[in-house]
Amino acid sequence: MTLDIPLPEYQQQLQSLNALVVARTGLPLYNLRKEIRLK
């Protein structure tokens, strides 16, 4: 997968989306992925 935007911007957008989902549903999100280490 390649990103069309810088990684920090992508991460910020993803955090914002996650926060929106939590706010609208009132449910916690769970990370089901294996641990990923960013360099």
Question: Is residue 30 a part of any domain in this protein?
Answer: yes
Residue 19: per-residue pLDDT: 96
Residue 25: per-residue pLDDT: 97
Question: Is residue 1 a part of any domain in this protein?
Answer: no
Residue 39: per-residue pLDDT: 58
In which domain, by residue range, is 18 found? 7-37
Judge whether 29 and 21 are in contact, CB under 8 Å: yes
Global pTM reads 0.68
Question: Is residue 32 a part of any domain in this protein?
Answer: yes
Q: What is the pLDDT of residues 1-39, one digit of tens each?
A: 788 999 999 999 999 999 999 999 999 998 887 766 665
Question: Is residue 24 a part of any domain in this protein?
Answer: yes
Residue 34: per-residue pLDDT: 75
Residue 38: per-residue pLDDT: 63
Number of domains present in the structure of the chain: 1
Question: Is residue 2 a part of any domain in this protein?
Answer: no
Distance in angstroms (rounded) separating the CA atoms of residues 10 and 4: 9
